[in-house]
Structure 1
Amino acid sequence: MIYLDDRQEKYKVDEDFIKQVKNAIDFSLKKEGVSVPYEVSLLFVDNEEIRKINSDNRGIDKETDVLSFPMLDFPKDKVYKDVYLNHSFDATFLDGEELVLGDIVLSLEKAMEQSKEFNHSFLREACYLVVHSVLHLLGYDHMDEEEKKVMREREEEVLDELNIKRD
């Protein structure tokens, strides 16, 4: 289940946009081997709101494009020993009948700015950011070059399979 909360007014998002963003989340999880019912919260905000959340939660008083708040901890060595994870979750990971993965906070304002900067569609940028965030929820990171390479390859692989191309 993907819970969506649109708390911004700068960009009107239609049902097709929401469907495609949710599909990117769902497909990313399936690609990573998540085969149990799951819960992810997706919050659309503007730059001012994401700056506040970033400041409150990370002590970084500036806007960003997307924030991930994972509910599960993954051992660092488990994530990068094999290039890609095959996530399997038994009942100990479930909250009731669902795997609660965490929250994604996406600044649609920043996504629009970056789509123009990188010369591709708003949809492509938003989907890229949610795929990026899903991978964070599953333990991926990009703090060193090896991690970054693995994560970037996985992001592009997922987007390619979804046929969400750079324009």
Structure 2
Amino acid sequence: MRLAIDLIDETNSVTPEEMQELEKLLNFTAEKQAVESESELSLTFVTNERIHEINLEYRQKDKPTDVISFAMEELGEGEIEVVGAEQPRVLGDIIISIPKAKEQAEEYGHSFLRELGFLAVHGFLHLLGYDHETEEEEKAMFSLQKELLDEYGLKR
């Protein structure tokens, strides 16, 4: 496998098969995006209450959301880049709300796994530096997400 993924299910509701499929999908995406082998990230599944707390604390948004990413390679004010020749690339953390994912899967009329895959790829692309702050960025990022999911076989 290309990535070292730390999978954490705080909800105890994601099956081992779903976790395995997400791991494969993220590795597929990493390969398509030419991410260095042995790069590390975490993927955590949480409740709406927990993601609400995180969203409020880190983004000052007082509501639950579906996915939040914390990219380790984005330097904050006053931070310096640490570079080591033998160090694996640490991409960051992806946090997904399981209740939101279930709600959105039903709303969009596709499987829970497809929604989890969409949210995982969305968060992963954020870790790689993609964003959707402008219309142009949004179009590029969402097109890439759809292309990756379709090619992998998780179509709507």
Partners of 1:128 and 1:102 in 2: CA distance? 18
- Cα RMSD, aligned residues only: 1.7
- What is the DSSP-based 3-state SS (H/G/I as helix, E as strand, rest coil) of the residue aligned with 2:96? strand
- What is the DSSP-based 3-state SS (H/G/I as helix, E as strand, rest coil) of the residue aligned with 1:98? coil
Q: Match of 2:120?
A: 130
Q: Percent identity?
A: 44
Q: Does 2:83 match 1:92?
A: yes
Answer whether contact 2:47 2:97 (CA < 8 A) is retained. Answer: yes
Q: Match of 1:7?
A: 10
- What is the DSSP-based 3-state SS (H/G/I as helix, E as strand, rest coil) of the residue aligned with 2:83? helix
Partners of 1:102 and 1:22 in 2: CA distance? 15
Runs (5+) with no aligned partner, structure 1? 75-90
Instruction: Compute the displacement of 1:93 (Å).
Output: 6.6
Q: Match of 1:50?
A: 51
Q: Residues 19-98 of structure 1 correspond to what in structure 2 (within 5 A)? A: 19-73=20-74, 92=83, 96-98=86-88
- Normalising by structure 1, we get a TM-score of 0.83
Partners of 1:42 and 1:65 in 2: CA distance? 13
List structure 1 runs of 4+ shifted beyond 3 angstroms.
91-94
Q: Match of 2:95?
A: 105
- Normalising by structure 2, we get a TM-score of 0.89
Q: Does 2:155 match 1:165?
A: yes
Select the structure with the greater relative contact order (CA < 8 A; seq sep ≥ 6). Answer: 1
- Correspondence for 2:109 among 112, 115, 119: 119
When residues 144 and 46 of structure 1 are mapped into structure 2, their CA distance, relative to the original with a 3 A threshold, is same
- The number of equivalent residue pairs is 147
- What is the DSSP-based 3-state SS (H/G/I as helix, E as strand, rest coil) of the residue aligned with 1:139? coil
Instruction: Compute the displacement of 1:29 (Å).
Output: 1.4
- What is the DSSP-based 3-state SS (H/G/I as helix, E as strand, rest coil) of the residue aligned with 1:35? coil
